[in-house]
């Protein structure tokens, strides 16, 4: 077994973190349902850290992650570092660990600080009466615009992957999580920007607010932005619906 471990240069207790990652299966407190990737919380010198164990890859990906692609754990660590350098909020990266055998990657882990926040974007979708709903949605839209201006295409820009923290009266900060799928561009065109917002909400009234806010900072009018964002959203919802129906059929035939 070959092990690869890398930690943040600012980390003073790398040996302790390394030990926690190696003992992931026997220690820690489970966070979330753990259906795909498993997340556990650990206490370290009075602070809570979050360690994510990625799903064991299939045969093809075992080989690909060893020879051709970076693992999800390594990408999460590197992308988090890149986001912070660009002034974008994300939990502080701590370390990643990869284990390999003769065939390829067997398991991998990503450690970061654990943030306690009030909500995710999902609450804005599911609870229209959430306090400060309009203000949070508009500030989130500005946050997304800043991502695009910096050429950051967050491919998993979906409701559960932005943590939202209230920092003062009517002011909020946003933190991206689940970072292993991301592209960095010199510039993003209009279609890329709108497509990047298509997974967030199927609600027309929310898209209307987001379009109005995005237009304050962009060269297109709110009407043009709304039309394209709504079109991209419908296309995503249609594709998502087809995938869900296909999964149901496969489960039926398997049973």
3-state secondary structure of 2: strand
- pLDDT computed for residue 161 by the predictor: 97
- Whether 83 contacts 157, CB under 8 Å: no
pLDDT at 192: 98
163 vs 67: CA distance, rounded Å: 33
Strand order in the sheet with 47-53: 2-7, 93-100, 105-113, 47-53, 38-44, 29-31
Q: Are 92 and 113 in contact (CB under 8 A)?
A: yes
Q: Return d(Cα 108, Cα 180) in angstroms, integer.
A: 12
pLDDT at 42: 96
| pLDDT value for 254 | 58
Q: What pLDDT score does 9 carry? A: 79
pLDDT mean for each 10 residues of the chain (255 residues)? 86 89 94 85 92 94 93 97 97 96 95 95 97 97 98 97 94 97 97 98 98 98 98 93 73 62
Query: Would you give the end-to-end CA distance of the chain in angstroms?
Result: 37
DSSP class of residue 114 equals P
pLDDT for residue 251: 64
Helix axes 222-254, 204-214, angle to 10 degrees: 140
What are the structure tokens assigned to 53, written together?
A: 């164990």
Helix and strand element counts for the chain (H, E): 8, 11
User: All domains of the chain, ordered by start, with CATH?
Assistant: 2-113 (3.30.200), 119-242 (1.10.510)
Give the pLDDT of residue 35: 74
Q: Report phi then psi at 160, rounded to 5.
A: -90, 0
Q: What pTM was computed for the model? A: 0.92
* Residue 169 pLDDT: 87
How many of the other CB atoms lie within 10 Å of CB of 159? 15
What's residue 252's pLDDT? 60
The residue behind tokens 């920007």 is: 193
Question: Alpha helices, DSSP H only, in the chain?
Answer: 14-22, 59-67, 72-85, 121-126, 133-149, 190-196, 204-214, 222-254
H helices of 2-132, in order, are: 14-22, 59-67, 72-85, 121-126
| 101, burial (CB in 10 Å: exposed 0-12, middle 13-18, buried 19+) | exposed
């Amino acid at each position: 077994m070959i092990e690869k471990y890398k930690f943040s240069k600012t980390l003073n207790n790398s040996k302790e973190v390394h030990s926690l990652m190696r003992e992931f299966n026997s220690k820690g407190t489970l966070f979330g349902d753990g259906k795909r990737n498993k997340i556990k919380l650990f206490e370290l010198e009075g602070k809570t850290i979050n360690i994510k164990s990625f799903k064991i890859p299939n045969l093809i990906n075992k080989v690909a992650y060893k020879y051709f692609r970076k693992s999800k754990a390594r990408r999460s660590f590197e992308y988090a570092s890149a986001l912070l350098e660009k002034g974008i909020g994300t939990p502080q990266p701590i370390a990643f660990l990869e284990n390999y055998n003769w065939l390829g990657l067997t398991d991998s882990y990503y450690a970061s600080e654990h943030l306690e926040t009030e909500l995710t974007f999902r609450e804005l979708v599911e609870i229209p009466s959430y306090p400060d709903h309009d203000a949070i949605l508009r500030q989130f839209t500005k946050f997304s615009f800043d991502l695009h201006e910096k050429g950051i295409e967050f491919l998993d820009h979906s409701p559960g992957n932005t943590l939202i923290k209230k920092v003062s009266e009517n002011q909020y900060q946003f933190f991206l999580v689940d970072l292993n799928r991301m592209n960095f561009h010199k510039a993003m065109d209009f279609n890329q920007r709108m497509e990047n917002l298509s997974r967030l909400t199927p609600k027309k009234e929310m898209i209307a607010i987001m379009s109005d806010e995005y237009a304050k900072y962009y060269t297109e009018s709110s009407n043009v932005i709304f039309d394209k964002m709504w079109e991209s959203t419908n296309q995503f919802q249609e594709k998502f619906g087809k995938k869900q129906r296909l999964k149901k059929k496969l489960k039926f035939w398997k049973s």
